[in-house]
Structure 1
Amino acid sequence: MNKLAECYRGKAKTIYTTDDKNFVILKFRDDISILDGMYIKKIARKGMINNQFNYFIMNKLSQLGIPTQIEKLLSHNETLVKKLDMIPVELVLRNRAAGSIVKRLGIDNGTILDPPLLDLFFKNDSMHDPMINDSYCTTFGWVSKLNLVTMKKLTYQVNNILSKLFDNAGIILVDFKLEFGLYNNAIIIGDEFSPDVSRLWDKTTLKNMDKDILRKNLGGLIEAYEEVANRIGVNLH
């Protein structure tokens, strides 16, 4: 399968068309961004780590019956994936309080959320991904009620699987974001799962092992990403 033209360039990933209309190539760049893309910098090896981290996670989910767009690892920073009709709604699942919810509700950082909280956001960087609810999705036609139910169900299933995976590696899955799309009219998980779109804390020290390292200017981001990958069994190469 041949890589053709660039068709989308995001903050940290580029998508290329192929000679098969059903598949695209997802390239992870060394870019990392915060503040909805207002701050972007390059960090060596980041694209390689996130690409292989994402492939490992998505492939594991697929093996356990969770539909994902993952198809084949092509290189250290490229993966072949199904071409999706992406839904502009992000689902964020929170096992512990961190980030925006702490500021919004005034609760203590790290508070265990039982049962976990599920938030919906409209995917729009220029508007800072505003929080929405089911009614918005229906009124504006972003996603059908039935498909939204499926997205929520899959998000909880992913949480159950990955919370155990990370816990066994001595890591707390604090929260994470999922994006979905349609492929042959079926809902499947798209985009990525990596330390860029999740919060991961060491179980013993509670140290950040995710993009909050950059947000808080702590240093050692790539080393933390590599440690997480190694702990859960990603074979970086």
Structure 2
Amino acid sequence: MKNGEMKLLYEGKAKKIYESSLDEVIIYFKDDVTAFNGEKKDSIIGKGKINKKVTIFFFKMLEEKGIPTHMISDIDENSFLAKKVEIIPLEVIVRNYTAGSFCKRYGIEKGIKLEKPIVEYSLKNDDLGDPMICRNVVLSLRLVKENVLNKLEYYALKINNILSNFLEEKNIILVDYKLEFGISNNKVYLADEISPDTCRFWDKDTMESLDKDVYREDKGDLIDKYSEFVRRINI
């Protein structure tokens, strides 16, 4: 893929989006890694390749289970072809265990299994630090229609069930994760990525991180832990 020959539509912290055609885009995974809203950042060779590989693997799995994704086909080690969608300005967060900002917000300890999965939302706005936003505010601000919001929650919980069951077989806990969705021709699609950058994965026996918390908390070599996750799920 010759990136210089294509129109760059968007560049985020971890990916670049190029226009492939009127209806398709190329998602390119960078080696950049950031934490704390970009306050900490580095470039780690091989990270983009791993995140793209994991995303493709999970998107294919979810497609087979009835979750529509915007992925069309694989391209190369760092890129895949995707349907062009209008990204909904919300991050959909699913929590199975207490961790991260959830612990800080409510003053509770890390690692408690929740009675049932919690679905939360944050507003996709880097300038505001992606603030949490409740369902009623989402609807009052008309960010999405109620039927679309209901579908996001339905998909998020179905994805949670599929991935949690799969990872449990690999002795991995799906702690929490965030999802992004987009719309094309009035249909909702899972978009963006599902990777160690956007999820918390813990070893079931040791509770050690196999995700970006390794970088956030300086707990070891990021690529080693990401590679271990890839080996554990056999891809």
Q: Normalised by the size of structure 1, how large is the TM-score?
A: 0.95
Residue matched to 2:90: 89
Aligned residues between the structures: 233
Distance 2:217 2:41 in 1: 15
RMSD of aligned residue pairs (Cα, Å): 1.3
Distance 1:217 1:175 in 2: 20
Residue matched to 2:49: 48
**Letter of the structure 2 residue corresponding to residue 12 of structure 1:** A
Aligned-pair CA distance for 1:141: 1.7
Distance 2:188 2:224 in 1: 34
Query: Residues 94-113 of structure 1: matches in 2 within 5 Å?
Result: 94-113=95-114
Residue matched to 1:14: 16
Residue matched to 2:34: 33
**Letter of the structure 1 residue corresponding to residue 209 of structure 2:** N
Question: Where does structure 1 lack aligned partners over 5 or more consecutive residues?
Answer: none
Segments ≥4 residues shifted beyond 6 Å: none
**Letter of the structure 2 residue corresponding to residue 185 of structure 1:** N
Residue matched to 2:125: 124
Residue 149 of structure 1 aligns to a residue whose secondary structure is: helix
Residue 38 of structure 2 aligns to a residue whose secondary structure is: coil
Distance 2:45 2:144 in 1: 37
Residue matched to 1:170: 171
Query: Residues 218-237 of structure 1: matches in 2 within 5 Å?
Result: 218-234=219-235
Residue 51 of structure 2 aligns to a residue whose secondary structure is: helix
Aligned-pair CA distance for 1:39: 2.1
Contact 1:37–1:125 (CA under 8 A) maintained in structure 2: no
Please give the per-residue CA displacement for 1:135-185, whole angstroms capped at 9, x wherever unaligned: 221222211100000000000000000001111111000000011110111
Q: Normalised by the size of structure 2, how large is the TM-score?
A: 0.96
Residue matched to 1:137: 138
Identity fraction in percent: 39
Question: Where does structure 2 lack aligned partners over 5 or more consecutive residues?
Answer: none
Deviates more, 1:192-201 or 1:2-11: 2-11
Residue matched to 1:150: 151
Distance 2:86 2:224 in 1: 35
Distance 1:38 1:205 in 2: 29
Distance 1:39 1:8 in 2: 21
Please give the per-residue CA displacement for 1:110-152, whole angstroms capped at 9, x wherever unaligned: 0110211111110111111111111221222211100000000
Please give the per-residue CA displacement for 1:56-93, whole angstroms capped at 9, x wherever unaligned: 01111011110111111100001001111000011110
**Correspondence 1:23 to 2:42:** no
Aligned-pair CA distance for 1:108: 1.7
**Letter of the structure 1 residue corresponding to residue 40 of structure 2:** Y
Residue 199 of structure 1 aligns to a residue whose secondary structure is: strand
Distance 1:172 1:152 in 2: 21
Please give the per-residue CA displacement for 1:185-229, whole angstroms capped at 9, x wherever unaligned: 111110110000110100111101100011111121111111111
